[in-house]
Amino acid sequence: MKVAFATQDLKRVDAHFGWAKNIAIYEVSQEGYRFLEAIQFEGELKEDGDEDKLAPKLEAICDCAILYVAAIGGSGAARVIAKGIHPIKVQQPEPIVELLDKLQRVLQGTPPPWLRKVLAREGKGRERTFEDFEEVEHG
């Protein structure tokens, strides 16, 4: 699955979605992850109530399953969710590599229900049913 990160420096999730200078996109699976691309955004990136500035960012992440951000406004979050992308807010700037490692470990274990839905929608890996997860969870 593809995962997007709102970042100013391409190393950490340290940006508000609307103000991010960059969106780094990675492919993540149980086996590992790989960098796909960094999309840069020019111009004035500030809090100004201009919702149209989100359109290029929404287009850039349209095929991603998850978006990590330092912050995101209510309208932006609603638009991200409407595209079927799960936004995740980090409490403080975190290295992208550490977030990728954590996500990979979750994928190797028993993912939470929201992530199971994402994985089912992505159709990656072996076909797993809800019953597969129930057996793992309940022994």
Q: 33-73 pLDDT, tens per residue? A: 999 999 999 765 455 555 577 999 999 999 999 999 999 99
Q: Which two tokens stand for residue 90?
A: 């980090």
Full domain range(s) for residue 40:
2-138
pLDDT at position 53 is 77
CATH number of the domain at 41, please: 3.30.420.130
What's the Cα-to-Cα distance from 130 to each of 5, 76, 112, 136, rounded to whole Å? 28, 31, 11, 10
Neighbours of 10 (CB within 10 A): 15
Calpha distance 130→48 (Å, rounded):
44
Per the structure, the count of domains in the chain is: 1
Calpha distance 19→7 (Å, rounded):
9
Supply the pTM of this predicted model: 0.82
Q: Which two tokens stand for residue 25?
A: 């996109």
Residue type, 62: C
